[in-house]
Structure 1
Amino acid sequence: MTVLQEAIDQSLSREAKRIALYHGEQAYRIGELKDQSLKMAAGLIQQGLEVGDRVGFMLPNCPEALITTLASYNQGLVIVPINYRFQANDASKFIDQVEPKLLVYHVDKEPVVTELKQRYSEIKYFCVGDQSAVETEHSPAFETLPGNDLLEAASGIPEDHPALILFTSGSTGIPKGVVHSQRTVFEAFDSARQIFDFNEEDVVLVGKSISHAGGLQTQLFPAFAAGSQIVLATNPSPAEAVAIIQRHKVTEYAMLASNFLDFVEFMEAHHEGLPSLRKCIASGDAVPHDLHERFKKLFGWEALEGCGMTEVGTYYSVNPLYGKRKWGSIGLPAPNMQVRVVQSDDKTAAVNETGELMVKSPTNTIGYWNNPEATKRLFSDGWLHTGDLGYADEDGYFWFVSRKKLLIVRRGSNISPVEIENVLDEHPLIHATVVVGVPDDRDGEVPVACIASMEDTNRPVESELREFVAPQLAAYKLPKHYLFLSELPQTATGKFDRHELEEMAGEAFAK
């Protein structure tokens, strides 16, 4: 068996009566998950799927997604999560690339799947949920997919055999399918298991979407492999998350930075007690220093902050769970990771000198699906280009500066949007900030600060913000324009949508 198959087998061989998973009011025991996943493996093979075939799912965070993934990994099939929030045109970009033989979807996506069926009649569709109210022709129910027999793991699957395809966010072009092998899937979630020190005493709330590495690889599977109890929810609101944490005595909860902000604000307003919670991480966007302080004031301990990417499969740098943390930094290299900062000439940068962060790790993708040119550009001598700009300080902690493509070049001077955002986020009336660049006749490109205020009735005045940032930034870094919004748009992955904000700012201010 591969290391991934062995890890799954060990996880499913624990005490059969132990509760492994909660989803809503339903509890799932280890024995149930084992039987269902092995029967699902038999069912997939009975549908005519062979080693290497792709299995897609368009599901919220639910047990059916886990069962389908476990079965696919064990049979050498390739699981392809498709964002649950997608419409048909979005989903078709994925389907066109990977050509799945079978798609499992939730009944709430029936209108989307109805369109997909017209385009892709060759795909076999299975529906999770009650279709009685569905007016279109029904798909076979998910419950009819598993076989009657228990099919053990397929033998002879190579370690480098594709197991998982995750797609990049695609904010700057067509999304690319990031391929992870049997080994890199295991190495990625095992690194995350070590980061959080997951064990059988932990209760982990998985609220990030398992359509992405953040939910699947850094939360669901590391917790499952460690024998932790898992509570599945799909992007719960702060109030819902607090109720779940209290009910299940959750010990660990991970959020995107935008959700982390909402969570802290809710806790400040409601003063709920969460004595079981011991570990929390925010990622996806930079977390302002002020927000870290507010979290510590509420809980008495510090949240973690880290940085990862789909191509690495997990976090490549994170503040340590035990030991010194530096607020604002993305921490130290994660377990089994090598991280270096390089200049444009491929030379290692000096301490505190900004360059591109490069990663060498057993978790690194084996490449992009059917895209050898992009795969070749991704690597240099075994080191993966993250596209992140940052630097290492004298203690070896890494600091994120910007994405390479997000840098604003004003009259030849590079400006990091994150640096401006960190300053503006300290203002008491600002809820969130995203800084983007727009074309300018005189300067080439200028920064525009897109602002969401705490309350619509108490919006900051532009002149006050200019006075606030002026003493803290060099003149060329100061935003030329301010765009006030009731809320900042988000991407399908829950991050702030910089591409959409660039378009909005461009329409308003570009010259």
Structure 2
Amino acid sequence: MTIGPTRLQTLLDEVVRTTPEQTALRHDDKALTYAQLDMASRTIAAGLRQFGIAPGDRVAWLLPNCPEAVAITLACYQLGAIAVPLNYRYVTQELEEILTRTAARLLFYHADRASVVQPLTLNSLQTIEVAGAGDAPLPFEQLLSGEPDDVRAPVHEEDAALILFTSGSTGHPKGVVHSHGGVYSAIAQSRELFDFQASDVVLVGKPISHAGGLHTQMMAAFLAGAEVVLMMKPAPAVAVAAINQFGVTEYGMLASDLLDFVEYLEQHPTPLPTLNNAIGSGDAVPSDLHHRFRDLLGWEVMEGAGMTEVSCYYAGNPRYGKRKWGSLGLAAPGMQLRVIDLSGDDCPVGVQGEIVLQTPSATIGYWNDDEATQTLFQNGWLHTGDLAYRDEEGYVWFVGRKKLMIVRRGSNIAPAEVENIVDEHPLVHATVVVGVSDPRDGQIPVACVALVEDADPSAEASIREYVEQHLAAYKNPVHYLFLPELPRNATGKFDRHQLGELAAQQFGGEK
């Protein structure tokens, strides 16, 4: 078996060799060529090696979309270290839990998150502040003071390169581990799906701490030698200005952000002559929004679906050719996709079942969670938990999720995780968190709460404050529904279905 360099470690080699002065990355007022990005990543890798980071060590980062996050990730791949991107919205409790589980040796963080990082109690963890004049033990500039090198750690394609965290239905965040070969496959499959060319300019606004921004957009564009304009969830006006300033040809958005984008253009008509592809994902794009987009731009938005466990899209409407509004499209390049029934047989056309996959981009398992890994893979197929059916042309139509996950603007929220926090409040007797449909966010979390007897009338304000201190803002319940007691089903469990209906009636959601 050949040991390194892996395809992931040599991701930039071809474009650096052929067009080193091509702009790779724009961010704020910075622009890096491919040669400069390559040098930055190799310099950081050399500094980390001298610092003692070895193959297999976990290196975490808590950063917004920025060149430093890109270079650190590429440096980890060179070193054979395992990159652990973290959700920038994490609070201290969430951050410490994940850093403890992964036994991370090093955490890069932005100065703006110092108040979240400083209370950490992990004595074995070294921290490096990336921006600002903080008192970090090892200033980031020190890593950039050495000479870049060409040393690439001898690792196998099957060795772990990346851990992406996503909430599981139990509320315990799962670390999705991807190998060098799997990460490269996700990038290559995404490049093929979106047909990125060196002439493309790709606006990346999704967080690159998630697969949607990291692999399907940014790294796929790098593989093609294209230019990336990197932003952090830009407001529509900012995105529109950037598209025209830099000649952006492709922009991927969550479905909820796509709505904001369309509404802005309807109110502020602006020609976008260079833009020729846009993607809506994370939630279904409503038919009305498809129509409004085409009325504005004269062509159809692309829609698809993916998951962290395959690190890219598993289905998408074609970049060129027939797009069916409301469908997830066709199986993506490199994906074997089936819709199966409970016995594991393929469902006939029009009959719903579960989507299962085989792909070289699939995770190699969950971090230190063999039971969950075995549940994910059954009979050689990755079970997505997504329910769908196929039409006579092979297009996939999403029906719903087997899991209880709430998906808010593309971010997964596990009800059990929120329930555990709400239940800790001394005035709370019991809690069930349900998702309610929302025209902008896709779904919003609603906490159905039974209070202890004789609870203070100001309970809601006190509970909200407590939850805000212990959970990232996007996980906080938008509404609280207080009930004398929570209904139960025939088995004695809390009746989530009934509570979901009550919450939808109360707060205007759709069943």
Query: TM-score band (shorter)?
Result: 0.7 to 0.9
User: Are the structure 2 counterparts of residues 371 and 172 from structure 1 closer, same or farther at C-alpha, using a change threshold of 3 Å?
Assistant: closer
Contact 2:127–2:136 (8 Å) recurs in 1: no
Give the corresponding residue for 1:479: none
**Is residue 60 from structure 1 mapped to residue 64 from structure 2 by the alignment?**
yes
2:116 equivalent in structure 1: 112
Give the equivalent residue in structure 1 for 2:89.
85
When structure 1 is superposed on structure 2, of 318-327 and 18-27 the one drifting more is 18-27
Contact 1:212 1:493 in 2 (8 A): no
Percent identity between the aligned chains?
46
Paired AA for residue 200 in structure 2 = D
**Is 1:126 paired with 2:128?**
yes
- Residue 193 of structure 1 contacts residue 223 of structure 1 at CA under 8 Å; is this kept in 2? yes
Q: Following superposition of structure 1 onto structure 2, how do residues 206-217 of structure 1 map, counting pairs within 5 Å?
A: 206-217=204-215
Sort the Cα spacing of 1:209 and 1:338 in 2 relative to 1 into closer, same or farther, 3 A.
same
SS of aligned partner of 2:128: strand
Partners of 2:12 and 2:38 within 8 A in 1: no
Does the C-alpha gap of structure 1 residues 148 and 247 become closer, same or farther in structure 2, counting only changes over 3 Å? same
Q: Bigger CA drift: 137-146 or 273-282?
A: 137-146
Q: Does residue 16 of structure 2 align to residue 18 of structure 1?
A: no
Does the 8 Å contact 1:169/1:493 carry over to 2? no
**CA offsets 1:202-257 (integer angstroms, 9 cap, x no match):** 00011000010111011110011111101110011111111111111111100111
Q: Secondary structure at the match of 1:290?
A: helix
Q: Which amino acid aligns with 1:45?
A: R
Q: Post-superposition shift, 1:296? A: 0.5
2-side partners of 1:453 and 1:377: how far apart? 33
Q: Name 1:440's counterpart in structure 2.
A: none
- Provide Cα deviations, 1:458-505, integer angstroms capped at 9, x if missing partner: xxxxxxxxxxxxxxxxxxxxxxxxxxxxxxx9xx999x86x946x745
Alignment partner, residue 43 of structure 1: 47
CA contact (8 A) 2:100 2:122 kept: no
Paired residue secondary structure (1:287): coil
Q: 1:226 to 1:242 in 2, by over 3 A?
A: same
The equivalent of 1:278 in structure 2 is: 276
SS of the counterpart of 1:341? strand
How big is the alpha-carbon RMSD for the aligned residues of Structure 1 and Structure 2? 2.7
* 1:326-351 deviations in Å (ceiling 9; x for gaps): 00000000001010011111111111
TM-score (norm 2): 0.80
Q: Counterparts of 1:341 and 1:196 in 2: how far apart (Å)?
A: 24
Match of 1:200 in 2: 198
Written as runs of structure 1 = structure 2, the 5 A alignment for 1:215-364 is 215-364=213-362
In structure 2, the gaps of 5 or more residues are 408-412, 416-431, 442-467, 488-511
Partners in 2 of 1:110 and 1:453 — Cα distance? 31
In 1, Cα distance between equivalents of 2:34 and 2:404: 45
What is the correspondence of 1:147-226 to structure 2 with a 5 Å cutoff? 148-170=146-168, 172-226=170-224
Could you tell me how far apart the structure 2 residues matched to 1:168 and 1:245 are? 31
> C-alpha offsets along residues 15-62 of structure 1, whole Å, 9 cap, x if unaligned?
222221111111111221121111111111111111100111111100
Of 7, 13, 31, which aligns to 1:27? Answer: 31
SS of residue paired to 2:80: coil
State the 1:128 CA deviation. 1.5
Structure 1 residues 29 and 451, CA gap change in structure 2 (3 angstroms): closer
- Verify the 8 A CA contact 2:354 2:383 in the aligned structure 1: yes
Q: Could you say what secondary structure the match of 1:57 adopts?
A: strand
Give the aligned residue type for 1:84: Y
Contact 2:204 2:228 in 1 (8 A): yes
What letter is aligned with 1:75? Answer: L
Q: Aligned partners of 2:55 and 2:440: how far apart in 1?
A: 52
Whether the 8 Å contact between 1:46 and 1:147 is mirrored in structure 2 is no
In structure 1, C-alpha distance between the alignment counterparts of 2:169 and 2:261, rounded to whole Å: 26
Where in structure 2 are the equivalents of 1:342-491 lying within 5 Å?
342-406=340-404, 450-451=437-438
CA distance in 2: counterparts of 1:62 and 1:268, whole angstroms = 30
Question: Who is 2:138 aligned against?
Answer: 140
The superposition leaves residues 131-168 of structure 1 with CA deviations (integer Å, 9 ceiling, x where unpaired) of 2xx5xx44432111235222224253111000000011
Contact 1:166 1:179 in 2 (8 A): yes
Shift of 1:450: 4.8
Instruction: Give unmatched runs, 5+ long, in structure 1.
Output: 408-416, 419-433, 437-444, 455-488
Describe the shift of the 1:26–1:397 C-alpha distance in structure 2 as closer, same or farther (beyond 3 A): same
Decide whether the 8 Å contact of 2:250 with 2:277 is kept in 1.
yes
Distance 1:76 1:284 in 2: 31
CA-CA distance at 1:391 after TM superposition: 0.5
8 A Cα contact 2:358 2:381, kept in partner? yes
Partner Cα distance (1:328, 1:505) in 2: 32
Over 3 Å counting, the alpha-carbon distance change for 1:376 and 1:321 in structure 2 is same
Render the CA deviation track for 1:46-81: whole Å, top value 9, x for unaligned: 111111001111111000011111111011110000
2:254 maps to a residue whose letter is L
**Which amino acid in structure 2 is aligned with residue 19 of structure 1?**
T
1:453 & 1:319 partners in 2: Cα distance? 22
Conservation of the 8 A alpha-carbon contact between 2:339 and 2:352: yes
Aligned-partner Cα distance in 1 for 2:283–2:438:
15
Distance 1:125 1:391, change over 3 A: same
Q: 1:449 to 1:142 in 2, by over 3 A?
A: closer
1:191 is aligned with what amino acid? Q
Q: In the TM superposition, what is the alpha-carbon distance from 1:453 to its structure 2 partner? A: 8.6
Paired with 1:298 and 1:108, the residues of 2 have a C-alpha distance of 38
User: Any idea what SS the aligned residue of 2:9 has?
Assistant: helix
The count of residues paired between Structure 1 and Structure 2 equals 434
Query: Do the aligned partners of residues 147 and 292 (structure 1) sit closer, same or farther apart at CA in structure 2, a change above 3 Å counting?
Result: same
* Separation in structure 2 between the aligned mates of residue 448 and residue 107 of structure 1, nearest angstrom: 34
> In structure 2, how many angstroms separate the alpha carbons of the residues matched to 1:13 and 1:94?
38
Letter in structure 2 aligned against 1:392: R
- The answer to whether the Cα contact below 8 Å between 2:91 and 2:472 also exists between their aligned partners in 1 is no
Give yes or no for contact 1:42–1:147 (8 Å, CA) kept in 2.
no
**TM-score relative to the length of structure 1:** 0.80
Change (3 A) 1:5 1:506: farther
Q: Give the Å deviation of 1:171.
A: 6.2
Which secondary structure does the structure 1 equivalent of 2:119 belong to?
A: helix
Map Cα deviations across residues 157-214 of structure 1 (whole Å, 9 max, x no partner): 1110000000113464111000000000000011110111111100001100001011
